[in-house]
Amino acid sequence: MRINAITIAITMVLATVSLAAKTPTFLKSNDSRSIILHLNAWKSDKIVVSIKDMAGVTVFSEKIQNPTGNRKYDLSGLAQGQYGFVVEDGLKLAEQTLVITNEGVVVNPSTAETFRPVFKTDANIWKVQGLALNQTTEVAIFDENGNKVFNEKIEKPVVERAYDVSRLDKGNYTIEYSNGNDTFTHRAIKK
């Protein structure tokens, strides 16, 4: 059964978005082949640090519990080129780009942020919440065969939706939340 035939309860929430809480620059060059990560920028009790090449392939990853102070990363083993240095906590991904040249490491001082959506799938109501800022967000639901049973485009800075899925067939589903170049998925079971 397609979700389009279902009554969808949509809850709209008005919110004021403040960019004052933007993640500050968290990387700086240390010497010709290393960088320093400032861990105090995160208030989470666990973060994941990764370095990705321009193809999006992760070349380094580590989990850090109770991040405080600074951490030095030696990049001498990486080839010349541009990389993304990504730090993730439970709510957002922050990225700074860096370029490795013959002369050393150059760190871009600006920080790009992506906020993770929150999914809640209780019984017959599946909820999706996220911060979209100035981008169009698309929420889609796929059945276990990969068929799209629902799709919605949202052009609001704050996404908060509740979907009544009581008429969906029992089975496994995937909720997909796409915002700009980022896509997040969540598995859901309809009982």
What's the pTM value of the predicted model, to 2 decimals?
Answer: 0.64
CB contact at 8 A, 22 and 111? yes
Answer yes or no: CATH 3.30.428.10 is held by domain 3-16+115-190: no
Provide the 3-class DSSP secondary structure of residue 51. strand
Provide the 3-class DSSP secondary structure of residue 36. strand
126-170 tens-digit pLDDT: 999 998 877 899 999 999 999 999 999 999 888 999 999 999 999
Q: Is residue 25 pLDDT above 70, yes or no?
A: no
Q: Of the candidates 123, 121, 122, which has an alpha carbon nearest to the alpha carbon of residue 139? A: 121
37-64 tens-digit pLDDT: 888 878 889 999 999 998 889 999 999 9
CATH topology identical between 3-16+115-190 and 27-109: yes
Q: What is the pLDDT of residue 90?
A: 79
DSSP letter assigned to residue 25 = P
Domain residue ranges of the chain, discontinuous segments joined by +: 3-16+115-190, 27-109
Answer yes or no: CATH 2.60.40.3080 is held by domain 27-109: yes
